[in-house]
Amino acid sequence: MFKSSDDDDRAAERIVEINSRIHESSALYMNLVMLAGYAGAFAIWSYTREQLPPRASIGVALCLTISLTSFVLFEIYKMVRMSRSIIEFRDLLGQNLSARDFLAKANKIEAERHTTFRKVLLNAWRFSFLLSVLTGLSAVVILTYNFLSILLWK
């Protein structure tokens, strides 16, 4: 086995910190892009739905509803998971523990959070992301097809 030095530990902590910041920034950017996409799709649909056939309008509404619901439900789920983690850590701060016991319990909480993130949250995100993107793009495809149909064949 290798024995780690303080420099190795600091370097590892720094890498984890950088990775966390990259993840947070990319998640924020992705959410911003998704919300802009929803705003655009809903705006286009709301201004043009009178020209669309009823089935197309309902299809767009259904796809956008499924997409937005999937996105919002995942964000709520993520918020609940994060809040529970924060509350658990805050409760740990309220206990009268020695520094060694505090760090041991804090490391255990962090390890459990990391395991939960990898096993549960990441899989839920993949499912939600795919469902949101596929149904959102389906709405755009329905809109585009019907716009082209109206322009070219009517």
Our count of domains for the chain comes to 1
Q: What is the pTM of this model?
A: 0.73
pLDDT, tens only, 21-42: 787 787 788 888 888 888 888 8
pLDDT, tens only, 100-127: 887 888 888 888 877 877 788 888 989 9
Residue 57 belongs to what domain range?
A: 35-153
The answer as to whether 138 is a domain residue is: yes
Q: What is the DSSP letter of 52?
A: S
Local structure of 98: helix, strand or coil: coil
Q: Of 53, 54, 35, 15, whose CA–CA distance to 136 is shortest?
A: 35
Residue in this structure with the two tokens 């992705």, named with its chain if needed: 30
Local structure of 3: helix, strand or coil: coil
The answer as to whether 71 is a domain residue is: yes
The answer as to whether 83 is a domain residue is: yes
Give the pLDDT of residue 129: 92
To 5 degrees, how large is the angle CA 81–CA 87–CA 13? Answer: 80
The answer as to whether 110 is a domain residue is: yes
Identify residue 94 by its one-letter amino acid code: G
As a whole number of angstroms, the distance between CA 41 and CA 147 comes to: 13
Residue 52: both structure tokens together? 């669309």
Contact 71, 128 (CB under 8 A): yes
CA dihedral of residues 119, 120, 126, 128 (deg, nearest 10) = 170
The answer as to whether 73 is a domain residue is: yes
The answer as to whether 15 is a domain residue is: no
The answer as to whether 22 is a domain residue is: no
* Number of neighbouring beta carbons within 10 Å of residue 60: 24
